[in-house]
Amino acid sequence: MKDQLNKNYFSLENLESFLFSTLDEKVFFEKLSSFLIQEIKVDRVLSYYLQDGGETLKLIANTGKKGRAPKPTLVNQGAGACVIRTKKPYFSNNVSRDPVFCNDLKEGLASELCVPVLHEGVVMATLHFQNFSKGFSFDEKCLSSVNEIIQKISKPLSNMKMYLTAKLLNESLLKKIEIQEKKIQGKDVGQINNPLFKVEDKKIIANSDSMLKVLSLAEKLSYTDINFLIKGDKGVGKESVAKRVHCKSARKEKSFVTVDCSSLGSNELNTRLFGIEQTKGEKVISFQKGLLEVADGGTLLLKNVESLGEDIQCKLNHFLKEKMGYRINGRSPFSSNVRVIATTNVDLSQEVFSKQAFKEDLFYKLNSFTLEVPSLKERKEDLPSLVGHFLSMEEFKVNGEEKSLSPKAMSKLAQHVWPGNISELQNVLKKSVLMTQSGIVEISHLPELTTADIEVEEKSKEEEVFVEMTLGDLEKKHICRTLSFLGGNKTKTAKTLGITVKTLYNKLHSYGMITSQS
């Protein structure tokens, strides 16, 4: 391989010159991938770079044999997670039996080499060399060849890293300048300066197909301005999805206002939505804007919309039709350009047609599209990521220490049916972290889960499929899963497994996950 590289030294110099000449990250990585696939002779090379503050790996180049386009992945999953955490390459010549590549099984891969692209000790991208047939095996020579090429283009990589950093900073500054200009010009000053109604797009954990579909539809809805309905059980995160739509839409710099229709009486809700005026004769002494006015240019979220009284349904129906309404005691109408998103945990069509408790006209105005958020029991594959995400948050830490769940505790949570969904999961985790004196939450620290379903567990046992696996493979899979559950913390992993840290390092070295120097 090195002899071949010496013959192609001139082409490698051409590559370095070309990469130096471009500041387009897509062109940069596509050219690099094309060169690598010719040199290493593999079926496909994928290039990912880190985005969203280092939380996501985004596919930037896909060269070679085309298959199903890989999705963006979180940096705590798959082979990318392994090399980002260790900053060392990792390869497997039997992907189907390697737990590190469990997320890539749908691709039908036979072997893969994953290499981190480092700049000043920080991972900026990952390169994935993939084969779909079993006739090719990766070895240290392949790895050495890839490293030699990456070292040769270290200066263009440094150049691209500085450009991407500057580009991100520039976009952030332009956004701040735009907001300041609006303030100076007096445009929407009240809404921009009101922090109570300004929201930011927060991370939504989604690995399951059902939740990924919801987020895909939410993004499409953000491109429109229609009113729509979000349906789902209590605690599934309907408000988070509504905020995602708002923050991705053209209304993102305006107010996002929320009101729970089930928590207020009819009169108070009427005042809250439409506002009120105090008059003396023909003169208005004072007035209070309703949320429909406050949210002008932005979004109003009506939670539990099925709880609206008949009078308010009529007024809201008129407002959505005319884009105008009247405050209580008001004589002149107000106008407001507001998008209305409604949520419910019931079948609203039944409220309309069977119970006749909800007005049909209003139902159709709110139900231009229905987005159904799955319950937690319908997206169990998201559970480990959800647990890891919540435990990393400050409110779940104890004296600043981040806790972790043991594999047995995680398995116990996976058997629960979660009637309270995400809200219940957060409650269980908050209780559990207080019960442990160490950094690991065991089964004994979990509160009693009242809906542990024995039938579900028995059914899963019946559906269990036998997979041929040696004892060594089983040990490797268990060690890798435990390491993943504990966020790559080797000390915690060794303690959980009941082995010394030195033994764990020896095991990982034998799997090719770390070098002997580590």
- In tens, the pLDDT along 98-138 reads 777 755 444 678 888 999 988 778 888 889 898 888 878 88
Cβ distance 186 to 193 under 8 Å? no
- Residue 308 and residue 431 share a domain: no
- Residue 358 and residue 393 share a domain: no
Q: Is the pLDDT of residue 191 over 50?
A: no
Residue 378 lies in a domain: no
- Residue 6 and residue 121 share a domain: yes
The CATH number of whichever domain residue 330 belongs to comes to 3.40.50.300
- Residue 214 and residue 125 share a domain: no
Lowest mean pLDDT among 27-36, 45-54, 144-153, 246-255: 45-54
Residue 176 lies in a domain: no
360's enclosing H/E stretch is helix 360-366
Residue 435 CA, chain-centre distance (Å), reads 29
Which one is predicted more confidently, 497 or 104? 497
pTM over 0.75: no
| % of the chain beyond a pLDDT of 70 | 85
Residue 190 lies in a domain: no
Q: Is the pLDDT of residue 67 over 70?
A: no
**What is the number of structural domains in the chain?**
3
Q: Is the pLDDT of residue 457 over 50?
A: no
- Residue 202 and residue 152 share a domain: no
- Residue 422 and residue 327 share a domain: no
Q: How far apart are CA 129 and CA 218, in angstroms?
A: 33
Contacting residues for 87 by C-beta, under 8 A, at least 6 apart: 116, 118, 121, 123
Predicted local distance difference test score (pLDDT) of residue 103: 52
Predicted local distance difference test score (pLDDT) of residue 304: 94
Residue 175 lies in a domain: no
Of 347, 372, 397, which residue is a domain's last? Answer: 372
Cβ distance 343 to 303 under 8 Å? yes
- Residue 213 and residue 132 share a domain: no
Lowest mean pLDDT among 58-72, 98-112, 181-195: 181-195
Residue 10 lies in a domain: yes
Residue where the block lists tokens 């005026």: 277
Predicted local distance difference test score (pLDDT) of residue 150: 87
Predicted local distance difference test score (pLDDT) of residue 269: 93
- Residue 491 and residue 420 share a domain: yes
Q: Which of 457, 449, 430, 453 is nearest to 441 (CA)?
A: 430
String of b and e for 355-366 (b: at least 16 CB within 10 Å)? eeebbeebbebb
Predicted local distance difference test score (pLDDT) of residue 454: 37
Of 148, 163, 178, which residue is a domain's last? Answer: 163
Of 141, 163, 185, which residue is a domain's last? Answer: 163
Summarize the confidence of residues 187-194 as an average pLDDT: 39
Residue 454 lies in a domain: yes
Residue 281 lies in a domain: yes
The CATH number of whichever domain residue 27 belongs to comes to 3.30.450.40
Q: Is the pLDDT of residue 461 over 50?
A: no
Lowest mean pLDDT among 119-133, 140-154, 186-200, 347-361: 186-200
Predicted confidence band of residue 77 (pLDDT cuts 50, 70, 90)? low
Predicted local distance difference test score (pLDDT) of residue 76: 54
- Residue 348 and residue 229 share a domain: yes
Domain that holds residue 355: 197-372
- Residue 32 and residue 90 share a domain: yes
Lowest mean pLDDT among 25-39, 47-61, 115-129, 235-249: 47-61
Across the chain, mean pLDDT equals 82
- Residue 424 and residue 357 share a domain: no
Summarize the confidence of residues 245-258 as an average pLDDT: 92
- Residue 123 and residue 156 share a domain: yes
